Structure 1
Amino acid sequence: MSRQRAGARSYFAVQAVAGAVWWLMVFTLPWVREATLGGLDPVAVAVLDVPLFVVASAVAAIGLRVAAAIAAGWTVLVAVGLAGYATATGEAGWGVVAMAPAAAGSVLAACVLVLGRVPTSWLVRGPFAFHPAPSRPGRARNVLTTFAQIVVFWGVCLVVLPLVVAALEERWQLTPALPPLATSLVSGAGAVLLVLASALGVWSAVTMSTLGDGTPLPMASTNRLVIAGPYRWVRNPMAVAGIAQGVAVGLLLSSWLVVVYALAGSLVWNYAIRPFEEADLERRFGAAFDRYRRAVRCWLPRVPRAAREPSPPARRSGATGTSR
């Protein structure tokens, strides 16, 4: 915990220095002022931002919780306000790009200083909590349910949200000007990657739903530890496929922000969701999952050594989980 607090304080220290440097550039370099603030009056913004962002971050760096909460709240407010301003005017797009990660980092660091932890457990509550699928409803039903989940998940995460992100990128004037040939090559690479990643995703989903006595979704998760098919080579083939699909859609749309969106999603999954999932799997499957985890990597494929035994049934304790 002390290491986490030290990291949070270091984050605020870096943020304070970066904020001070940014304001120095705003008042000395017109192109920085135009790119990050657009037509906003820099003096009027600085009157509030310097004490609430720069100074508050500096004070938070010495461990004062109130300052951390103030810096985080103000940073989120500025990020949201700049996003609204950039969307309405088409200006200050780079200001949004700078403040959005600052807002996320400030909130995480403030949680560590104020609460002592980042409350990631809320991500696996309610409809996203681990619950077992009805025992043996039939493979056909599991497969149909899985494909229904895929349609919804892919439709939202790979169509709706990327189109919104790409539209905002264009509105904020952040779209790179690429030659036609480069655009065609990037789009072609995206199409190939999307097909390959989607095939991996479907293969993984079908393997899990037919062998796991459940579905990939936590609310109706598998009752068996699945180590067959693509799960023999990597522990999380569906996550790998989803990230690759997001990057592919970004390439198809020629949107670097969509690529960032996909990579940011991978960080959320890896650091916020995966620990809960693997803790649940270890609790339910014990030594079998431990051997599997030692034999097969999470992200990078490797020929498994110790995970060649049949998938054991879950202990009927009401616990749930999947091996994704």
Structure 2
Amino acid sequence: MSRAADKQKAGSRHNKRNRPLRIFHGRMYFALQALAGAAWWLGVTMLPRLREATLGGLDPMLVAVVGIPLFVIASGLAALHLRWAVWITLGWTALVAVFMAIYATITTEAGLGAVLMISATVGSVIAGILVFVGRIPSERLLIGPFAFRSSRTRVRSQVLVSTIIQIMVLWGVFLIVVPAIINSFEVRWNLAVKFPILVAVAGFALLAFASVLGVWSARTIANFGSGTPLPSAMANHLVVRGPYEFVRNPMAIAGIAQGVAIGLFIGSWLVIVYAIVGSLLWNWLIRPHEEADLRQRFGAEFDEYCRRVSCWVPTFSQPPDEEEADGENTGPEDSGALRREE
């Protein structure tokens, strides 16, 4: 308990120490957004194709009268740390993003403009939180089924059934439903790009490989960790077997590859962007909390595991002494896991 409290205090001190730097990062985003907005307006006046792709049939002069002060100038003022300008930028950007999405859906025009404004809204929200709070309170995302808790059952059959159900639900939502919605908007907004047939074949092959890796990883967690991939039913033991022997996040790698593969297979560049952006947000917002939880529960064992195995780049060889140590710690009697009760 004391150790957890000490870590919490250390984390609080770390956040306070880095707060000015993170506020600076938020301000720099607004500065870049102001420059990008100015460059876009310059391009709109000079390049008819850019104007058509981003504004469609909207009157550029009418949009500029309101858009330049409330987006370009307001972003520049937000970069100067004027907080009221941050609120103006956030509100206007979100409003325009909604309008452009509706406009592009109804008219099939200005799809690129809708995508750009949606991206600007996401970036502005993140930058705004950095300016006001000094950090992203990502721990607030860890609620309900995404809160870190060990699996309540260690019965192998029950854990395997739960794992199968989770895979079906998660893959169905994030690899079928969400990509289908994204692709439908991509087609409706006239942003679809025809991919060569070989790209689709490569996407199918990558999807098959990534799915095998995902199933292998999930089964390893169930067999050797007495847990599931879902944060609310995590492994009770530190798993270092199967794909986890080579890389620390095989499930995440499989998910990223699956998302990219779906985009390649159905010919959707927006789905590929969705997969990449989602992976970056997971790595930035969620992974630090997950590793902090593992470090708190498994201590030195997890630190040693991190020293031996990379987070993202597979390691296929270990020093002989470490391989022997792994063999001692992960024998048949331990079901291939480094065990430590909570």
Q: TM-score, normalised by structure 1?
A: 0.92
Q: Percent identity between the aligned chains?
A: 53
CA deviation digits over 1:120-177, x for unaligned, max 9?
A: 11211122111221142x1111011101000000001001111111111111111124
Q: Indicate whether 1:287 and 2:300 are aligned.
A: yes
Equivalent residue, structure 2, for 1:313: 339
Q: Give how far 1:49 is off.
A: 1.3
Q: Which moved more, 1:40-49 or 1:161-170?
A: 40-49
Equivalent residue, structure 1, for 2:267: 254
Q: State the alpha-carbon separation in 2 of the partners of residues 135 and 149 from structure 1.
A: 15
Q: Is the Cα contact below 8 Å between 1:234 and 1:299 reproduced in 2?
A: yes
List aligned pairs for 1:171-190, cutoff 5 A: 171-178=188-195, 182=196, 184-190=197-203
Q: Is the Cα contact below 8 Å between 2:97 and 2:114 reproduced in 1?
A: yes
CA deviation digits over 1:17-75, x for unaligned, max 9?
A: 11112112223322221110111122222222111111110001111122122212221
Q: Indicate whether 1:164 and 2:181 are aligned.
A: yes
Q: State the alpha-carbon separation in 1 of the partners of residues 66 and 124 from structure 2.
A: 17
Q: State the alpha-carbon separation in 2 of the partners of residues 175 and 220 from structure 1.
A: 39
Q: TM-score, normalised by structure 2?
A: 0.88
Q: Structure 1: which amino acid aligns with 2:175?
A: L
Q: Which moved more, 1:41-50 or 1:14-23?
A: 41-50
SS in structure 1 of the partner of residue 239 of structure 2: coil
Equivalent residue, structure 2, for 1:203: 216
Q: Is the Cα contact below 8 Å between 1:296 and 1:303 reproduced in 2?
A: no
Q: Is the Cα contact below 8 Å between 1:133 and 1:215 reproduced in 2?
A: yes
SS in structure 1 of the partner of residue 109 of structure 2: coil
Q: Matched residue pairs, number?
A: 311
Q: State the alpha-carbon separation in 1 of the partners of residues 66 and 253 from structure 2.
A: 43
Q: Give how far 1:304 is off.
A: 5.6
Equivalent residue, structure 1, for 2:206: 193
Q: State the alpha-carbon separation in 2 of the partners of residues 39 and 119 from structure 1.
A: 40
Q: Is the Cα contact below 8 Å between 2:145 and 2:230 reproduced in 1?
A: no
Equivalent residue, structure 2, for 1:53: 71
Q: Give how far 1:85 is off.
A: 1.1
List aligned pairs for 1:267-286, cutoff 5 A: 267-286=280-299
CA deviation digits over 1:224-276, x for unaligned, max 9?
A: 11110000000000000011011111011011111111111101110011011
Q: Give how far 1:100 is off.
A: 2.0
List aligned pairs for 1:41-190, cutoff 5 A: 41-136=59-154, 138-178=155-195, 182=196, 184-190=197-203
Q: Is the Cα contact below 8 Å between 1:295 and 1:304 reproduced in 2?
A: no
Q: Structure 1: which amino acid aligns with 2:236?
A: N
Q: Structure 1: which amino acid aligns with 2:125?
A: V
Q: Give how far 1:277 is off.
A: 0.3
CA deviation digits over 1:89-114, x for unaligned, max 9?
A: 11001112222221111111110111
SS in structure 2 of the partner of residue 175 of structure 1: coil
| 1:221 to 1:304, Cα distance in 2 relative to 1, 3 A | farther
Equivalent residue, structure 2, for 1:220: 233
Q: Is the Cα contact below 8 Å between 1:69 and 1:114 reproduced in 2?
A: no
Bigger share in helix: 2
Q: Structure 2: which amino acid aligns with 1:259?
A: I
Q: Which moved more, 1:225-234 or 1:68-77?
A: 68-77
Q: Is the Cα contact below 8 Å between 1:296 and 1:304 reproduced in 2?
A: no
List runs of 5+ in structure 1 lacking aligned partners. Answer: 317-324
CA deviation digits over 1:298-322, x for unaligned, max 9?
A: 1110136458233333342xxxxxx
Q: Is the Cα contact below 8 Å between 2:31 and 2:75 reproduced in 1?
A: yes
SS in structure 2 of the partner of residue 10 of structure 1: helix
Q: Is the Cα contact below 8 Å between 1:9 and 1:63 reproduced in 2?
A: yes
